[in-house]
Amino acid sequence: MSTKPKLVVLTGAGISAESGIKTFRDSDGLWEGHDVYEVASPHGWKKNPALVLEFYNQRRRDIANALPNEAHKGLAELEKAFDVHIITQNIDDLHERGGSTKVLHLHGEIFKMRSEQNESLIYPIQTDIILGDTAEDGHQLRPFIVWFEEPVPKIAEAIEITRSADIFVVIGTSLVVYPAAGLLDYVHRSTPKYIIDKQIPTVDTAFITPIKATASEGVKKLKKILSS
């Protein structure tokens, strides 16, 4: 058991944007020019699996070429003084490459793949997945990503981590995608809370300290606050 204060951080696309990773959904509702439901839903997969595979193959290439930024590294440095748990909505591995040791991926991981039939058959993948690649059960392999309309298997674990937070921080997420956005409701009322974003989401800020900044700048400010 760690004797350090438990710092729980919920991160979204905004923390990876500074590493050149496009945010999930732009204001026009498109992701890299695609309707999100065409590339991130069971319906889209059934309709055109080749398109979905190529879309995620490109995401995998982009992420492999990206580097963790100062926000990722700053959170890892906080492990010296805090028991840091990252709960991320991101599918990239930039938290891990930035040095964080406890990372829970709510929406899956781009460097893993699974059987389309059996979600417990999971394999590492660094290259491309193509049509005809099958798992050991004979079914097509698909990205290990939680799509729209699919359950979020790790939300229960995330809730437990959140409930035990001594400090709770939200970075780079609009707090509109559920169930991740609902994690804030599980933080104890008296627990110090911070939100880092260029656009602070509409939440009850009476019990939350807003830090209006980019993720890197905000984490720098957070570190100063927590060390004072």
Residues 6+ away with beta carbon under 8 Å from 120: 114
Does the domain spanning 1-21+69-107+152-228 belong to CATH 3.40.50.261? no
Please state, in angstroms and as integers, the Cα–Cα distance from residue 76 to each residue in 106, 188, 189, following that order: 19, 24, 26
pLDDT value of position 36 = 84
Buried b (16+ CB within 10 A) or exposed e, 189-214: eebbbbbbbeebbeeeeeebebbebb
pLDDT value of position 30 = 55
- Give the residue range(s) of CATH 3.30.1600.10 domains in the chain: 23-65+113-145
Residues 6+ away with beta carbon under 8 Å from 176: 201
Tokens of 31: 């992701």
**DSSP secondary structure, 78-118, as one string:** GGGTSEEEEEE---S-HHHHHT-S-EEETTEEEEEEEESS-
pLDDT value of position 200 = 85
Residue 114 to residue 65: CA distance in whole angstroms: 23
- Is 107 in the active site? yes
Q: Tally the residues of the chain.
A: 228
Whole-model pTM?
Answer: 0.93
- Give the residue range(s) of CATH 3.40.50.1220 domains in the chain: 1-21+69-107+152-228
- What are 144's strand-pairing partners? 109
Q: Is the peptide bond before 179 cis (omega within 30 degrees of 0)?
A: yes
67 residue type, one letter: L
Q: Which residue has the tokens 């699919």?
A: 150
pLDDT value of position 180 = 86
Of the residues 72, 85, 95, 107, only one is catalytic, namely 107
H or E stretch covering 58 = helix 49-65
**DSSP secondary structure, 159-209, as one string:** HHHHHT-SEEEEES--S-STTGGGGGGGS-TTS-EEEEESS--SS-GGG-E
Question: By three-state DSSP, how is residue 212 classified?
Answer: strand
Tokens of 57: 């193959």
Each of the 228 residues of the chain gets a pLDDT tens digit; together they read: 678 999 999 999 999 999 999 765 555 555 667 788 899 999 999 999 999 999 999 999 999 999 999 999 999 999 999 999 999 999 999 999 999 999 999 999 999 999 999 999 999 999 999 999 999 999 999 999 999 999 999 999 999 999 999 999 999 988 877 888 899 999 998 999 999 999 887 776 568 999 999 999 999 999 999 998
Query: Which CATH number applies to 23-65+113-145: 2.70.70.10, 3.30.1600.10, 3.30.9.90, 3.30.930.10?
Result: 3.30.1600.10
pLDDT value of position 205 = 57
